[in-house]
Amino acid sequence: MITVNDIAVEFGGTTLFSEVTFAINENDKIALMGKNGAGKSTLLKIVAGENKPTRGVISAPSDAVIAYLPQHLLTSDDCTVMEETSKA
């Protein structure tokens, strides 16, 4: 299980989001929706460990693989989606 507990992100004194808490169990399917600039990509990068929250805790089993695949890849055109995701 991946747990996100009371995370917040602030940029230059502006709060992007705060008090975000949720859990993702094995085999869960989730959707993350919101307006442009709401912080969806930021939240995903935090859960994947690419960015750090201003406060809060993310925990996952030591053998969990958490990856973030951005919308625009910096990759060669000859790779398939399966090949790209297998690199994670």
Q: What is the mean pLDDT of each run of 10 residues along the chain (88 residues)?
A: 96 92 91 89 91 95 81 68 71
Q: What is the pTM of this model?
A: 0.74
Joined tokens for residue 82: 């399966």
Q: Which CATH architecture does the domain made up of 2-86 adopt?
A: 3-Layer(aba) Sandwich (3.40)
Which pLDDT belongs to residue 75? 62
Q: Where are the beta strands (DSSP E) in the chain?
A: 2-11, 14-24, 55-59
Q: Where are the alpha helices (DSSP H) in the chain?
A: 40-47, 81-86
- Look up residue 9 and give its amino acid: V
- 78 CB neighbour count, 10 Å cutoff: 6
